[in-house]
């Protein structure tokens, strides 16, 4: 019987193979081949269990060998990639508020309102939190009141009454507010 066929050695190698299952198969086979070669020399034709145990102890415990092999492996970036991209809750709230108040801000102060729309849409589209469909819907709901206001004044300029103004004002509040609520309630997309 050769040194690598001894029952203590086969158990030792099986333990290392089991504990090193995280290693790529090529690297694991290389480690086991190196150990077999070393054990063939260290144990030789020895049959005495005490001599074989002493040779195995000099080599080190299976967990120590596997730990050394783990330390030699490059860090796997999969944990960082698999983690969902999230943004601070503050950014989500700021985006929703900017888009939600945008049309009212346009009525109150046109330049500030347009700046709020631009900033809100910039935050929306640079965020990884929402999927494309949610971003398109929020953009549409935010910009629709501007189109309604423009068309209302162009088409109804001669006969713009209180009812028409109330409809325009209601849409200008409701649509961006709907976008804001949708953004706040939408769950972050998976990465």
Residue 95: pLDDT over 70: yes
Instruction: Check whether 1 has a pLDDT greater than 70.
Output: no
**pLDDT at residue 75 greater than cutoff 80:** no
* Cβ contact 172:104 at 8 Å: yes
- 48 C-beta neighbours (distance < 10 Å), count: 10
Digit-coded pLDDT (tens) for 150-181: 777 777 666 777 887 788 788 888 888 888 88
The Cα–Cα gap between 127 and 189 comes to: 11
Residue 136 banded pLDDT, cuts 50, 70, 90: very high
What average pLDDT does the segment 111-127 reach?
A: 88
Distance CA 9, CA 54 (A): 11
Percent of the chain with pLDDT over 90: 2
What pLDDT is stored for residue 158 in this prediction?
65
Sign (positive or negative) of CA dihedral 87, 93, 99, 105: negative
Q: For residue 96, give Cα distances in angstroms to 13, 54, 115, 116, 163.
A: 59, 69, 14, 11, 29
CA angle 120, 174, 130 (to 5 degrees): 40
For the beta carbon of residue 119, count every other beta carbon within 10 angstroms.
15
How far from 152 is each of 76, 156, 162, 165, CA to CA, in Å? 58, 5, 12, 9
CA separation for the pair 60, 51 (Å, rounded): 14
- 102: nearest Cα among 145, 72, 66: 145
What length does the chain have? 191
Q: Summarize the confidence of residues 79-101 as an average pLDDT.
A: 71
For residue 79, what pLDDT is reported? 46
């Amino acid at each position: 019987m050769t040194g690598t066929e001894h029952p203590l050695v086969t158990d030792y190698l099986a333990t290392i193979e089991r504990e090193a299952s995280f290693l790529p198969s090529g690297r694991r086979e290389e480690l086991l081949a190196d150990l077999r070669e070393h054990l063939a020399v260290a144990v030789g034709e020895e049959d005495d269990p005490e001599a074989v145990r002493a040779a195995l102890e000099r080599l080190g415990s299976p967990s120590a060998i596997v730990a050394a092999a783990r330390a030699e492996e490059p860090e796997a970036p999969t944990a960082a990639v698999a983690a969902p991209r999230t943004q601070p809750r503050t950014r989500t709230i700021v985006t929703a508020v900017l888009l939600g108040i945008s049309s009212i801000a346009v009525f109150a102060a046109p330049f500030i309102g347009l700046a709020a729309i631009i900033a809100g849409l910039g935050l929306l589209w640079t965020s990884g939190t929402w999927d494309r469909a949610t971003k398109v819907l929020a953009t549409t709901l935010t910009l629709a009141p501007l189109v309604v206001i423009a068309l209302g004044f162009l088409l109804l300029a001669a006969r713009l009454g209180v009812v028409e103004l109330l409809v325009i004002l209601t849409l200008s509040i409701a649509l961006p507010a709907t976008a804001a609520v949708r953004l706040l309630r939408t769950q972050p997309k998976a990465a």
